[in-house]
Amino acid sequence: MTFASILVCGLIGFLVSWGMIPVILAVCRRAGGGERDKCFHQTHKVSIPRFGGVALAAGFGAVTLAAAYFSDEGVSREVLTVVLGSLTMFGLGLLDDLNPIGARMKLLGQIVIAVTVALGGTGIESVTNPLTGVAHDLGPWSVVATVLWLVALTNLINIIDGIDGLAGGISLMLMVLLVHASLGFASFPLLVAVGMIGALVGFLYFNFPPARIYMGDGGAYFLGFLIGGLTLISSQKGTVAAALVAPVFALALPIIDVTLAILRRGMKGLPVFRPDRRHIHHRLVDFGFSHRRTVLTLYVFSTLFLLMAFGVFWSQGRLVPLFLGLSFLVVIYIVHSFGMASSKYSLRTFWGDMQAMRRESRYTMVLAQWLELEAERCQSPEELWDNFVFIARKLDLAEVRLVVRDSQLVWRAPGADDAPEALERKHHEFHGSAITGIEVAARRDAMSPKLFEMKSELAAEAWFKAATRWRTANGAEIALAPDHKRLVAAKRTAVGVPA
């Protein structure tokens, strides 16, 4: 392996990825957009293809062949299982991009792929305490630890893929870390990591805000699994010391985000894996940041954690306690700077509010599920709207404004228009249909701000899902009648909005 071979692998990755994306975009345009059905939590307004992972996987394939040619040690069975496992994981994600297969089936597929790789000889055989240097053999738990590591890395990258350029940028930083981890002992992982740096640079040219293409689940699963696999290969034959501790610091941002999401949903009584618009990048956008400024801000935090990861390598793990303390301070800063926790809470008040929130969220979700099931029974959009108004009354909402193109359909509870300044309002945008948004309002003295936030989001999501199910079942669009007082069905045009 020479500097020239390293440069060649980087160029191959860049040229294949950068060159394929225009082809993918052209194919998607001819095929009608290349994007699957919208979901409530997507925030982009225009149709953007989500097949950027195809370019990344193609770049990886070309880089792998070049790395096998230039590598000093050749391709071992362990390396081959990671290569094939990464491509298989890409196939699983691509299948979901083409036709959603459900969270349980995806998780089962991820576990099967990870188990196959673990049984193929790539795994965490022992864990080294970075403070004492003592290695602890995992024995039969090696496969379990390996599967947890690979599945966790796969999903962490996918979770942060919620805003243009974020997942690609963090993956790029992790590839830089892997290059450093492979220096001096493993040429194949080093060449592959350099090649993927080139592929990610080519992808980010089209993915940085405003994005022209997304990596999709295929790209996110592929990158997460590849990063996890290359980390195992670079970890001195399965001994987890600095080589595996360092990526944990580099991934601190998504780990913090996921942890906060799990705590947030658990305390509200919501399903732990339920998506929402309360991730760190969503908070920054709500805070007034543009998408580009949000990504750059998160790059700064990620770079800070990446420097900590390099520090773990350079100190052979001895500085882990110091970096854990710094990470804790960053978490506190993020939580309090962007309003993720109240600054004044007694334990008794917190427990009471949490129990009340959990009761209300369960009740609201039952109503939302009923509305979605009832949608297929409704004979007209107006009947569906009447059912939603019934839910709005049950949730003690004071006003609902449904935005249909440039007009609005408004429902108000009795007395709600007497003091409009006493109302708390929340607007939710929709994309992909004639209904472009919904605004929900409640009296400020009727419920706490956090309870209203939860109810407004669940109510808006309930309408979005019910309206989508009605449109699918009836093959028609929902539109506003000329008198602006009721909803009617309208024929769809080629772009899926009323004629």
Per the omega criterion (within 30 degrees of 0), is the bond before 414 cis? no
HEC string of 394-461 equals HCCCCEEEEEECCEEEEEECCCHHHCHHHEEEEEEECCCCCEEEEEEEEECCCCCHHHHHHHHHHHHH
SS3 at position 23: helix
Cα end-to-end distance, the chain, whole Å = 62
Q: Which fold has domain 359-490?
A: Beta-Lactamase (3.30.450)
Bridge-based pairing of strands 435-443 and 423-429 is: antiparallel
The encoded tokens of residue 290 equal 């543009």
Q: CA 41 to CA 456: how far, in whole Å?
A: 14
**DSSP assignment of 61-88:** HHHHHHHHHH-SS---HHHHHHHHHHHH
Q: What is the pLDDT of residue 492?
A: 61
Q: What is the pLDDT of residue 210?
A: 84
**DSSP assignment of 206-249:** HHSSSPS---HHHHHHHHHHHHHHHHHHTTTTTEESHHHHHHHH
Q: CA 51 to CA 21: how far, in whole Å?
A: 9
Q: Does residue 52 contact residue 215 with C-beta atoms inside 8 Å?
A: yes
Bridge-based pairing of strands 126-128 and 135-137 is: antiparallel
Q: What is the pLDDT of residue 494?
A: 43
- Phi then psi dihedrals of residue 436, to 5 deg: -100, -5
Residue with tokens 């980390």: 231
b/e 240-273 (16+ beta carbons within 10 angstroms → b): bbbbbbbbbbbbbbbbbbbebbeebbebbbbeee
Q: In the chain, count of helices (H) and strands (E)?
A: 16, 9
**DSSP assignment of 284-337:** HHHTT--HHHHHHHHHHHHHHHHHHHHHHHHTTTTTHHHHHHHHHHHHHHHHHH
Bridge-based pairing of strands 487-490 and 407-412 is: unpaired
Tell me the average confidence (pLDDT) per consecutive run of 10 residues in the chain, 499 residues long: 86 95 90 56 65 94 92 78 94 90 89 92 71 69 89 88 84 89 77 94 91 91 93 62 69 80 77 71 76 85 84 71 77 64 56 80 93 92 94 93 87 74 85 82 87 90 91 88 86 49
Record the pTM. Answer: 0.78
Residue with tokens 């689940």: 217
Locate the domains of the chain by residue range. Answer: 3-337, 359-490
